Amino acid sequence: MDVDSENPVDGEYDEPEEDVEDDDFTPSRTANASAKRGAADGGSSETPDEHGVGSASKKQKLLEPILRESTIELTEKQKFFKMEVRSIPGLTSCVHEVALPPGMEYEPLQPRVGPALREYKFVLDTFQQEAISCIDNMQSVLVSAHTSAGKTVVAEYAIAKGLKGNQRVIYTSPIKALSNQKYREMMEHFQDEVGLMTGDITINPNASVLIMTTEILRSMLYRGNEIMREVGWVVFDEIHYMRDPERGVVWEETIILLPDKVRFVFLSATIPNAIQFAEWITWLHKQPCHVVYTEHRPVPLQQYLYPKGGKGLYLIMDENRTFRDVNFTTAMNQLQDSSTSDELGKKAQAHRNKSGASDVTKLVQMVMERNYEPAIVFSFNRRECEQLAMSLHKMDFNTDKEKEMVESVFTNAIEVLSPEERKLPQILNTMPLLRRGIGIHHSGLLPLIKETIELLFQEGLIKVLFATETFAMGLNMPARTVLFTSMRKFDGKENRFITSGEFIQMSGRAGRRGIDTRGVVMLQVDEQIPAAVLKGIVKGTADALKSAFRLTYNMILNLLRVDGISPEYILERSFLQYQSYADIPKVLDQLAMKKAELSTLVIPRPEDLNQYFRISDEVKKLATAIHDIIITEKNVLPWLTTGRLIRLKHNNMDFGWCPILQYKKTKGDKKKEKRGENSDIALIVGLPVNDAANLDNVESLQYLQPVAVAAAKDMLIIRANLGAIQTLSTLKLYIPDDLSTKDGRQTLLKSLKEVCRRFPAGMPPLDPITHMKIKDADFEKSVKMLTILETRMKALPIHVDPAKENLMLLHKKKEALQEEVVGLEKQINETNKLGLHDELKGRIRVLKKLGYCSAEGTCSLKGRAACEISCADELLLTEMLFAGLFNDLEPAAVVALLSCFVAEGAKASGDPPKISERLSGILRQTQEFARKIAVVSKECDVPIDENHYVEALKPDLMEICFAWCNGASFSDICKKTSIYEGSIVRSMRLLEELLRQMAAAAKVIDNEPLEERFTSGILKLKRDIIFAASLYL
């Protein structure tokens, strides 16, 4: 995802230490109330009864002892459980519900009187009609629908409604690029009524319709901008972005701070908990909030599986969302056949790469032959996007006339660049691809190139677009076909399968409304995927909207400056806290049920059982420790001989005895040995099953159920992990030469059955000391202790009691119930505490200790300066500002130093960047300031990793920025780094925003020379290709 220049939101939020008092407080900046005031009316998401009214008020007595200790009285918190939700009947293609504040009577929506405020050339969908009816009735609405379903129609109507009522309308979007696009789109409909505010760009700021990023709206609310008095409607586009861990908190702050008189339109992809969000809005602003939800796709999808190296496509889900199990199995068999061995797979891949006929190339050819273009090919790696596009070097999808149009658009787009900039490798390499109808779209591209590609794609001049998943967010650019190069992505921690929510967002690009009768989705797979996993991805639900609220110092300081709103006020009203409270009724029900069940559970002979269980637990722990030593590589490897019988256990399932056929060490085991670690060993065993032919796709015990040897009819050759070995036997079986035939497997099965018949009490085990010769004094003690404990356990009367099994089950059930009760009580107690309250108090202590606010919580000059900084570490930057670190630096050095705060997203490969001694010196000074803040944070009990905090200062762009400010060309600075051009531009634009904020902070403290220094830095930074104007403006 691109991070635009004014939207980092890198701060933290805090609140004063005073206790919160109850009061009915309007969450508006202009409310006349004390800064100490706290929570207002509450509401809850509960299941309505047949009349649509929740019945949770009966829980009052249960809630009382739990909530008594809260800073907010029970009567206020009870309101969370009195929310009324009504369903609007009679709709088939969408769901329409409305959340009502406590005590408000439901009034049906009234039909519109007179003509509609906007006319459309097409028939509106039901969900659009329902949402527009809400707007006509001056009521807030959340519209949750698939990508490209037509949600913008609702936003346009809300704008028309506001204009008719002589009110201002604010339209917010997550990132600046989307704001620019929306500005262009709305200008077509509302002309001069539209303005744009994105921090670095301001167009027509007095317009009636203002397009802006959410950060700009948040800043306006904190500053008490006069415009807010005239706002009647606020449209939040892509509201599901509120779950973003970095910037999602800005959405919550903004929604909380907006006045109650404002009406809202929320546009979102499908979210399963939409009504919970609407209840939160209703509780916050004491107004009804409707939810119009539809999962209907205007263009149905057909989803195909393509096994890499296979022979074709397999329809796995049709337009009716029916999963085709037979086709899935056939596709998986194709994948297995195409890669029968690792070596064969490598040779085939090498051959495909050499000939240029890669699998993706084949799929693109197939798309073009079947007229399924335009197609978006999603890859989760920027380099791969480029490599795949380049691999189509022999393909040409555009006519001569289309080539001329591409050249014309591209030439016009780069006219703003200097002759030298037009020769940048990225520009020279892009043009030949675009002429042939092939495009690339990822965050590493120059914004000018990216926007050109978007415009060409919209005009149908790009037939195949290779893109990362950032293309799936916000941009209204559907295609006929969507192709996934992989079902896995690296998320920074692991290479995992994509979630159903991610899949829905990307696959939603398939199918153009009014053009295609169906959209096509192709999934390329290169590994065996269990059917349950794939079904979970392609048939799963969208990701729920979960709060990403967190504390920042910028939030705390801004709130300390605003009359009537304290940090506790924001925190208590956050969606995070609301979601926690909303779970209380359900948890209380569970707790009451578990306690009732526990009170009726009577267990005879409890003392005998307790003694037996204590010894039994010790036996299990000791046996596990012994087992772990036995199966270490040095001990077990000599005994993993062909034919040896071992007992396997996996996920608490006993698979019984089976013979070892062979074992393999995984690659890279020599490296592990050097590090003193065990190698990964995979066993190949013969497992008794009913029918091996039906289990060809099964690769591990995870997907199998145990079959008794006596009942087995076949043997399955399968892998097992070393840890699955429960016991090794002294016995070995003869292994037939050919186990690929059924006769060979039957011979082996007969041998196993005969051995099991001869040893009905179990196979003789290998003794770890006598046979395996494990020489370790502690180990020998453990083995002896295990024997003693087992003897003592068997001597207890209950061991031979016929009712032992039933008594043990009862005892385990009681223990489980007791654990559940403790867990539920802990969950309620944690919910009862004000979320993040301890961290908030710690941060307040930090601010007081560093002089940002007084002991009474009044914001100081230092605090007011820090309020101006929201796109980087406000605390560290303010400390540097007041210490005079910038006073003796020339503008170029100032810019270079500040680049360390915004370069986190710029990832370079290879060796660390080389920095001059002078720049290294000021970086070391900055790191010392960071360490001092970390020390103070620890003293004030604010969790912080000092090394991580210091290392967050990234020097990757220091020399680049220094050279740029001293006149170097963009071509020159690109030669100094492996960072993508687009990442450099994005970071520098964010840097320009930071410089403006630093200039504002210098102005607050009345330091005119320093203000001029930051302003001069902006003038040196803001030039040429890095700040080329958007094509959308």
Return the sign of the alpha-carbon dihedral for residues 31, 33, 39, 43: negative
Residue for token digits 């691999």? 391
Nearest to 234 by CA among 297, 315, 173, 299: 173
Give the per-residue pLDDT at 58.
Answer: 35
CATH code of the domain covering residue 668 = 2.40.30.300
Q: Which residues contact 458 (CB under 8 A, 6 or more apart)?
A: 477
DSSP assignment, residue 106?
Answer: P
Domain containing 203 — which CATH number? 3.40.50.300
Number of H helices, E strands in the chain: 37, 24
Binned at pLDDT 50, 70 and 90, residue 662 comes out as: confident
Q: Return d(Cα 503, Cα 24) in angstroms, integer.
A: 43
Residues 286 and 308 in one domain: no
Length of the chain as a residue count: 1033
Q: Give tens-digit pLDDT for 333-382.
A: 887 555 443 443 444 344 434 333 378 898 999 999 999 999 999 999 89
Please give the C-alpha separations between residue 73 and each of 70, 382, 862, in angstroms, as whole numbers: 7, 53, 36
- Could you tell me which residue, 609 or 617, shows the higher pLDDT? 617
Domain check: are 268 and 319 in the same one?
A: no
Strands 301-307 and 314-317, sheet pairing: antiparallel
Tell me if 304 sits within 8 A of 519, measured CB to CB: no
**pLDDT of 70 above 60:** no
Distance CA 796, CA 610 (A): 12
Residue 786 lies in a domain: no
Radius of gyration of the chain (CA): 33
For the cut 50, the answer to whether the pLDDT of residue 2 exceeds it is no
288 and 350 belong to one structural domain = no
What's the one-letter identity of residue 103?
A: G
Phi and psi of 17, rounded to 5°? -80, -15
pLDDT in tens, 318-346: 998 999 999 998 888 887 555 443 443 44
Q: What is the pLDDT of residues 846-885, one digit of tens each?
A: 999 999 999 988 899 999 999 999 999 999 999 999 999 9
Question: For residues 521 and 302, what is the distance between their CA atoms, to the nearest angstrom?
Answer: 6
Assess whether pLDDT exceeds 60 at residue 230: yes
Label residue 155 by pLDDT band (50, 70, 90). Answer: very high
**CA nearest to 438, candidates 482, 396, 381:** 396
The CATH code of the domain that includes 910 is 1.10.3380.30
How much is the pTM? 0.73
The verdict on 310 and 277 lying in the same domain is: no
The CB density around residue 449, as the number of other CB atoms within 10 Å, is: 24
User: What gap in Å lies between CA 474 and CA 238, rounded to an integer?
Assistant: 7
Rounded CA-CA distance 480/631 in Å is 54
- What 8-state DSSP symbol labels residue 765? B
Q: At what angle do helices 981-1004 and 891-898 cross, to 10 degrees?
A: 110
What's the number of CA atoms in the CB half-sphere (13 Å) around residue 656? Answer: 22
How high is the pLDDT of residue 911? Answer: 62
At residue 472, the pLDDT reads 64
Give all strands of the β-sheet with 289-293 in edge-to-edge order.
Answer: 84-87, 95-100, 289-293, 140-144, 263-268, 231-236, 168-173, 209-213, 194-197, 202-203
Report yes or no on 42 lying in a domain: no
760-819 per-position pLDDT tens digit:
888 899 988 889 888 888 888 888 898 888 888 888 877 777 777 777 788 788 888 888
**Are residues 280 and 349 located together in one domain of the fold?**
no
- The fraction of the chain above a pLDDT of 90, given in percent, is 49
The helix-helix angle for 325-338 and 531-538 (nearest 10°) equals 120
Structure tokens at 722: 């070393």
Question: Would residue 21 count as lying in a domain?
Answer: no
Quick one: 325 and 354 in the same domain? yes
Q: Give the type of residue at 897.
A: L
**659 bridge partner residues:** 645
**Given pLDDT bands bounded at 50, 70 and 90, which one contains residue 834?**
low
Strand, helix or coil for residue 89: coil
* Statement to judge: residues 933 and 1020 lie in one domain: yes
Angstrom distance (rounded) from CA 808 to CA 561: 63
Secondary structure, 3-state, 767-823: CCCCCCCCCCHHHHHHHHHHHHHHHHHHHCHHHHCCCHHHHHHHHHHHHHHHHHHHH
Classify residue 561: in a domain, yes or no.
no
Q: How confident is the model at residue 108 (pLDDT cuts 50, 70, 90)?
A: very high
Q: What is the pLDDT of residue 912?
A: 67
Q: Which residues pair with 171 in a beta bridge?
A: 211, 235
Q: What domain range is 706 assigned to?
A: 631-766
Instruction: Return the sign of the alpha-carbon dihedral for residues 985, 986, 988, 993.
Output: positive
On whether both 729 and 864 belong to a single domain, the answer is: no
Percentage with pLDDT > 70 across the chain: 86
d(CA 270, CA 666): 43
Last residue of a domain, one of 529, 557, 585: 529
833 located within any domain: no
Q: Kindly state whether residues 940 and 990 are assigned to the same domain.
A: yes
pLDDT in tens, 129-141: 999 999 999 999 9
Cβ proximity of 567 and 577 under 8 Å: no
d(CA 198, CA 211): 8
Query: Which helix H or strand E contains 591, and what residues bound it?
Result: helix 584-599
The pLDDT score that the predictor gives to residue 950 is: 95
Where among 529, 547, 573 does a domain terminate? 529
Answer yes or no: is pLDDT of 60 > 80: no
Q: How many CB atoms lie within 10 A of CB 390?
A: 14
Residue with tokens 């555009």: 398
Inter-CA distances, 212 with 179, 191, 564, Å: 6, 16, 26
- Which element (helix H / strand E) includes 951? helix 946-951
SS3 content of the chain, % helix, strand, coil (to 5): 50, 15, 35
Can you tell me whether residue 899 is helix, strand or coil?
helix
Strands 84-87 and 95-100: antiparallel
Helix (H, G, I), strand (E, B) or coil at 889: coil
Task: Provide DSSP, 376-431.
Answer: EEE-S-HHHHHHHHHTTTT-----HHHHHHHHHHHHHHGGGS-TTGGG-HHHHHHH
Claim to verify: residue 415 and residue 268 sit in the same structural domain: no
Per DSSP, the residues of 248-271 read HHHHHHHHHHS-TT-EEEEEES--
State how far the Cα of 323 lies from the Cα of 531, in Å rounded to an integer.
10
* Preceding peptide of 374 cis, ω within 30°: yes
pLDDT tens-digit series, residues 503-548: 988 998 899 888 889 999 999 998 888 889 999 999 988 889 999 9
Residue 953 has pLDDT above 60, yes or no: yes
Tell whether the model's pLDDT for residue 12 goes beyond 50: no
- In one-letter notation, the amino acid at residue 326 is V
* Residue 287 located in a structural domain: yes
CA gap 384, 551 in Å, rounded? 37
Only one residue has tokens 């404990």, namely: 789
- Encode pLDDT of 994-1024 as tens digits: 999 999 999 999 999 999 999 999 999 999 9
Q: Are residues 359 and 477 in the same domain?
A: yes
Q: What pLDDT is recorded for position 492?
A: 78
Write the DSSP symbol of residue 764.
P
- Structure tokens belonging to residue 379: 């890859």
Q: Which amino acid is at 739?
A: L
Closest to 599 measured CA to CA, from 817, 807, 804, 819:
817
Q: Is 481 helix (H, G, I), strand (E, B) or coil?
A: strand
Residue type (1 letter), 558:
N
Backbone CA torsion sign across 643, 649, 650, 656 = positive
Q: What is the mean pLDDT of residues 725-742?
A: 89
What would the two tokens of residue 541 be? 């639900």
Going by C-alpha positions, the residue among 126, 118, 171, 177 that lies closest to residue 149 is: 126
Q: How many domains does the chain have?
A: 4
What is the rounded distance in angstroms from the CA atom of residue 557 to the CA atom of residue 14? 7
pLDDT at 217: 94
CA distances from 310 to 291, 331, 339, 522, 881 (A): 45, 8, 9, 14, 62
Q: Which residues touch 1004 (CB under 8 Å, ≥6 apart)?
A: 861, 864, 865, 867, 868
Residue 573 lies in a domain: no
The stretch 269-274 carries a mean pLDDT of: 90
Token representation of residue 867: 């309020």
| C-alpha pair distances (Å), 8 with each of 199, 325, 847, 987, 1031 | 12, 45, 22, 10, 23
| Domain end residue (candidates: 262, 293, 324) | 293
List the beta strands (DSSP E) in 668-754: 681-689, 714-721, 725-732
In a domain, 166, yes or no: yes
Plot region of 80 (φ>0 → left; ψ -120 to 50 → alpha; else → beta): alpha
Examine the pLDDT at 16 and tell me if it is beyond 70: no
What is the average pLDDT score of the chain? 83
Please indicate, yes or no, whether residues 441 and 471 belong to a single structural domain of this protein: yes
pLDDT for 681 equals: 76
Q: Give 887's pLDDT tier (boundaries 50, 70, 90).
A: very high
